[in-house]
A and B are shown apart, each in its own frame.
Chain A
Amino acid sequence: MNPILSFIVILIGVYGLATSKNIIKSVFCVTIIEAGTILLFLNFGVYEGGLIPILNAIGIEIVDPLPQALMITTIVIGSTITSLALMLCIKIFHHYGSIEWKVVLKGDK
């Protein structure tokens, strides 16, 4: 049940990207997709009754530690991309005076 919920979060983010007319909304939707991906990763390793992978673990039933380690990296990468995108949004506002995709992408071709 839980992997399906995480996938629904990802699809909500994709729906938002395909219908948003504002640049900052698009950045938020990318953040939602990242959050959904992180939840999906964490859901693929756990099962009912598994313990956390800490304390001397030989012979104990633990959940898979590898997806959690990969997600530490992914969270950092996601936050850096969000910060870079938001700084670009500020600069676009200073140059064009608006943050709607239609106005910004028109310009001179």
Chain B
Amino acid sequence: MIKRISLVFLLGFILYLFSTSIENLADIYNSAGKDFFRDNGFYDTGSMNLVTAIYLDYRLFDSLFEAGILLIAVSGVMWISQHNTLEKNATFMLDKQKTPELFITFSRLLYPVMLLFGMYVIINGHLSPGGGFQGGAIVATAILILYYIDISKSIDVNKILTIEKFLFILLLSIAFLSLITRNEVFTNFIPVDGSAGMKSIFLILLNIVIGAKVALGLIAIFTAFLKEGR
């Protein structure tokens, strides 16, 4: 009890510090970053969506390692979930459920629409809000609806892991391709003075690879949880 009251006081003190620090929030803003991206974003990268321009061209290096962390997490979850015979309390929940008919019918209607919408978000990432990561999550959700439709359908996770590693190597090689054409690493392989249409080939290609990778990774994680290593 004393611990909880003292905790409230300590957290209240930190909140008080924070609120005194942001009294003059609008005055201390330094807009150097915003002005740079606003003035040069479209002409440098060929993408109308400035957020996509940042994470696919100016800061492509970060996105490579974001794809990398997904790879590591999927491999780690798969390794940890494999059973050995020492465990005492392992019971499996999967065999005890029966999905209602209404749900199965609606999922059959919804599945192609979601898949199409996800692919639209991936491919149009540079012209409207969206991109590889967001669209990949939507595609993964669409494919996971299949588990509601037919619960005994299972996917071979080892093959998914191998495909995912090949996709990561493909992503690295597309990012390195600009070394040959422009003598700079981790950027668009079409030179800066190319037309916007040509430059968006790079963006669409990267978005598709990242979208596929994210979708496969999320499907693998969810399948590992569902099967618990069987």
Contacts and interface: CB of A to CB of B under 8 A. Distances in A.
Interface stretch (B35-43, B108-116, B148-156, B185-193): B35-43
A73 B54 contact: no
Interface stretch (B96-104, B164-172, B175-183, B221-229): B221-229
A57 B50 contact: yes
Interface string B197-209: 0000000000000
Given A4-B18, A65-B37, A68-B51, A54 B11 contact: no
A55 B47 CA distance: 9
B87 interface: yes
A80 B73 contact: yes
12 contacts: A4-B18, A8-B15, A19-B4, A19-B7, A53-B38, A54-B50, A64-B34, A65-B34, A65-B54, A91-B81, A97-B88, A97-B89
Contacts of A53: 37-38, 41, 49-51
Interface of B: 3-4, 7-8, 11, 14-15, 18-19, 22, 25-26, 31, 33-34, 37-39, 41-42, 48-51, 53-55, 59, 62-63, 66, 69-70, 72-73, 76-77, 80-81, 86-90, 127-129, 131, 133-134, 214, 221, 224-225, 228
A103 B1 CA distance: 21
Counting chain A residues whose Cβ lies within 8 A of the other chain, the interface size class is 35 or more
Interface of A: 3-4, 7-8, 11, 14-15, 18-19, 45, 47, 52-58, 60, 62-66, 68-69, 72-73, 75-77, 80-81, 83-84, 86-88, 90-91, 93-95, 97
Nearest to A62: B38
A62 B80 contact: no
Given A7-B15, A84-B77, A91-B80, A57 B38 contact: yes
How would you classify the secondary structure of chain A's contact residues: helix, strand, loop or mixed?
helix
Contacts of B55: 69, 72-73
B66 A77 contact: yes
Contacts of B53: 65
Task: Output the residue of A15, A19, A57 with the most chain B CB within 10 A.
Answer: A57
A90 B228 contact: yes
A104 B129 CA distance: 45
B85 to A, nearest CB: 11
A29 B62 CA distance: 26
A33 to B, nearest CB: 13
A76 B18 CA distance: 27
Contacts of B48: 54-56
Contacts of A87: 77, 80-81, 224-225
